[in-house]
Amino acid sequence: MRKILFTLIAFAVGIGTGLAVGWYAWPVTYTESAPSRMRQDWKDEAIWMAAQAFAYDRDLEAAQVRLRPLGSEDLGELVLRRTEKAVAQNLPVPHITSLARLAAALGAHSERTDPYLNP
C-alpha cells in the first residue's frame, strides 16, 4: 500500500515538474509567429514606419503589403485609428501628417485628421 502511495506521489510530482519546466522554465518559443500576434505597441510602431516609408517611396501597394500582416481587414481604418491615437497623444505634427496621408491614401480620413493632410 505504501509502495503504491509513494509511486503515485512521485508520478504526480513528475507531472508537476514537467509542466513547470514546459510552461515556465523552458517554454516553447515561437520564432516564426504571425505579425498580427505582435504586441500593440509594436503594431503601432509598424504602422508608423509604414506611413514614413510611404512618405518616402510613395508606393501604396508596398504600404498595403506591409500593413496587411498586422491582421486588420480594413487597412484605412487601421491607419486612421493609429492617426487619431497620435493626435490624442499630441505627437509631433510630421509624425501625424505621415499617418494621416497614408490613411487618406487608403481611403480613410476624419475631421480630427483632415487638418494634418496639409499642415
Q: Which residues bind another protein (CB under 8 A)?
A: 2-3, 6-23, 27-35, 37-40, 42, 45-46, 48-50, 52-53, 55-59, 65-66, 69, 94, 98
Task: Give the H/E segment covering residue 52.
Answer: helix 40-57
Give the three cell numbers for residue 15. Answer: 507531472
40 or 118: CB nearest another protein: 40
As measured in angstroms, the least distance from the Cβ of 100 to another protein is 15
42 or 74: CB nearest another protein: 42
Q: How far apart are CA 119 and CA 107, in angstroms?
A: 19
CB atoms within 10 A of CB 15: 10
As measured in angstroms, the least distance from the Cβ of 73 to another protein is 18
The C-alpha cell 509542466 sits at 19
The answer to whether 85 and 95 are in contact (CB under 8 A) is no
58 or 60: CB nearest another protein: 58
As measured in angstroms, the least distance from the Cβ of 40 to another protein is 8
- CA 8 to chain centroid, in Å, comes to 45
The answer to whether 78 and 47 are in contact (CB under 8 A) is yes
As measured in angstroms, the least distance from the Cβ of 45 to another protein is 7
22 or 107: CB nearest another protein: 22
